Chain A
Amino acid sequence: MFPLDQLVIGQKAVIESIKTDFLPLKLIEMGCLPGNEISLLYSAPYRDPLYLKIDEAHLAIRKEVAKYIMVKPLMDD
């Protein structure tokens, strides 16, 4: 388990836990909840912001917020 900002581009993971006090509610509304699948699709230069697919939503957040989302990578089969 590690923070989301350490995910490799193209990698899929599952959200394990979120530090809710540091996350905007909007992010949670868009599906950033434990148990949902998350993948890092792209990043802008310097790996910030991050372009994610969370559940079925496509969105971008900044690295500093991504630190508060803990993920467990899914093994490729």
Chain B
Amino acid sequence: MIKNLNVALIGNPNTGKTSVFNALTGLNQKVGNYPGITVEKKQGSCRLDRVTKAKILDLPGTYSLNASSIDESVVVELLLNKNDPDFPDVAVVVTDVENLKRNLLLFTQIKDLEIPTVLVINMADQMRRKGIKIELEKLEKKLNTNLVLVSTRLNSGVEKLKQILIDYKSISTLPILDPNTIDQDYFENLGKAFPNQSLYKLWMVITQDVNFTRLERQKVPDSTQFKTQPKSYLKKLQQREIIKRYQTINQILKETYSVNREEATDLRSKLDNLFIHKFWGYVIFFLILLIIFQVIFDWSSVPMDFIDSSFAHVSEWTKTLMPSGILTDLISEGVIPGLGGIVIFIPQIAFLFLFISILEETGYMSRVVFLMDRGLRKFGLSGKSVVPLISGTACAIPAVMATRNIEDWKERLITILVVPFTTCSARLPVFMILISLVIPNDRLLGINYQGLTLMGLYLIGFLMALVSASILNRFLKLPNKSYFVVEMPNYKLPLLKNVAITVWEKTRSFVVEAGKIILAISILLWFMASFGPGEKFSNAEQIVTQQYENEAFEGLELENKIASFKLENSYIGILGKTIEPMILPLGYDWKIGIALITSFAAREVFIGALATIYSVEREAEETIKKRMAGETRNDGSRLFNLPTGISLMLFYAFAMQCMSTLAIVKKETNSWKWPSIQLFSMTVIAYLSALIAYQILK
């Protein structure tokens, strides 16, 4: 019989909690969501010994149990709810050896919930360099817990942690702080009102919404209604609780923990002098961005071209291998080009997440937050908007979620509203293919024109985000509370394993999630392009043959004429033709119109849609790019010329074409109002700028 054990990993941000999670579970992890909310739920499993298996839950990082965001409230709600299937048999609090005092605040709170709690002191490899000495046995005794020193970098301590987990029943559950010492009267009354219950748990339930006002929280099942005191009084008590806890912790650490400052080597101040320098700090940040974008463009193009042509080959190959018929057509013209449209993303997304996770892991991102705060505040944003704005270059969905640590609601709302202007990876393939079609692949002083154009598009996205933010800032009437606190973590070398897992996990889930939509739409598109209403579609061959009776068309040419006549009269063709008058002034024909309409579900569908449309129309032996380059207007000139290319790029830069983002904005703002405003205004901006660009350039 295998015993199953629920383990919850809890800790402050920047304590390396995720490294411990990775060390325990390796790749046996999956990321999902908590039901009903968009908080990421990371779960993994780990074999402790022959008969014990642990289900490990990596809870969102939090500084205390006084939740002030939805991520943090997930932690409290789980720890208060014994009936939750994930309720931990044992809690592991991960702390950072250098910030032990502050980390112990959370530890003592959790221990007081009477859950068996293990203390992990992480980053033990830093102890000597920082001159830290800990009397482990004494500390263990004073805190009445089981303690383990861990270094995920040196891979030490993890086995001991596993042993402690197996033996979790022997861990003391005695609380550390007596709530009565916080406020005797209050807690005595509480005890009278609810006899035989843990005072501290009651207190946690009552104070759940003291700080946490804006977002709707889920009810704790056995929630009590003991609200005899106003919020401000409860907040005072919370502060007194923190003071009491620190008094206890200080007392304990005084006897067990010492730092010899002279032994400490100060990497922090050396790097800070450079990275947050009032001039060089900004130069460095700009250079880092420049490098990221050059790398994404230059390095990704090789695997992308390879993927592009491979899919064209596979498509062709299926056609020759499989018996001809409707199923073969569906696979070679619908499914395979659709899949190609997803797979082609992988190199860029992986690179972007690689850079973002390195910036986060090293601690550099907090410095950027610090540098940018004052400047961004002028636009109604926060320094913390930098993280969403940079993550937005990968995908707006995690970016909208990353706004949660912005304390001020107005700054947060503005960030959510403007973040979809940043160039997400779904726009990249659209940009890449358009750039390669209309911008020359030459170099000036070693800088590639195409790379420069791409950087320009990123800048234009950021600029538009800033402009709309300052407009919103002026017109949104919301109270502004400046509760900006950002921790400046130590600089660290990124752990390869962490970075690799992040890149893998994010890329995988993006490809799967986006992939479902793209694949579904590609198939739907193929059907709509392959069938049509009425006589014109079903009798296409006859009509076209008759039309060109007197002209000496050879077989292939005639076939092409038939195919395009068919497409024009298919369902999708009729749809495209209907909107053609609207998009003609932007320089698009009805086929681009089709791609545009379908892109409103997800931008990346653009290429897949064109691929589907063109391969339905002609033989699929060429790559998508070649097919697009070969498209002509009525007068014989290239369809994808500079004006149309620029106009399209601007449209895709500004338009809100992503159902998933709209859905997440609805969830995070709790109303349809904001996503509707987003959809409407962004589309108007996109249309107008594309119109102006085309009319000027044409």
Contact = CB atoms under 8 A, between A and B. Distances in A.
Given A56-B98, A56-B101, A61-B484, A45 B374 contact: yes
B64 interface: yes
A19 to B, nearest CB: 12
A56 B99 contact: yes
Given A29-B242, A30-B102, A33-B242, A46 B374 contact: yes
Given A21-B232, A29-B105, A44-B371, A58 B482 contact: no
Contacts of A42: 272, 276
B102 A33 contact: no
A72 B37 CA distance: 45
B485 A61 contact: yes
B268 A58 contact: yes
A60 B211 CA distance: 20
Given A20-B235, A28-B239, A45 B487 contact: no
Nearest to B488: A58
Nearest to A32: B485
A57 B12 CA distance: 12
B316 interface: no
A72 to B, nearest CB: 19
A59 B484 contact: no
A49 interface: yes
A63 to B, nearest CB: 9
Given A24-B485, A25-B239, A51 B370 contact: yes
B101 A27 contact: no
A62 B373 contact: yes
A32 to B, nearest CB: 9
Contact of A44 (B99, B268, B374): B374
Contact of B101 (A21, A31, A45, A64): A31
A55 B249 CA distance: 13
B101 A55 contact: yes
Given A29-B63, A30-B487, A20 B383 contact: no
Q: How large is the interface on B (under 10, 10 to 19, 20 to 34, 35 or more residues)?
A: 35 or more
Contacts of A57: 99, 102, 487
Contacts of A49: 370, 373-374, 383, 484, 486
Interface in B89-109: 98-99, 101-102, 105
Contact of A26 (B68, B269, B488, B490): B68
Nearest to A46: B374
Contact of B278 (A44, A48, A55): A44
B541 to A, nearest CB: 71
Contacts of B486: 49, 59-61
Interface string B353-385: 000000000000010011101100000000100
A1 B484 CA distance: 24
Contacts of B235: 20-21, 25
A45 B488 contact: no
A58 B407 contact: no
5 shortest interchain CB distances as A-B pairs: A24-B483, A58-B488, A60-B486, A29-B64, A60-B370
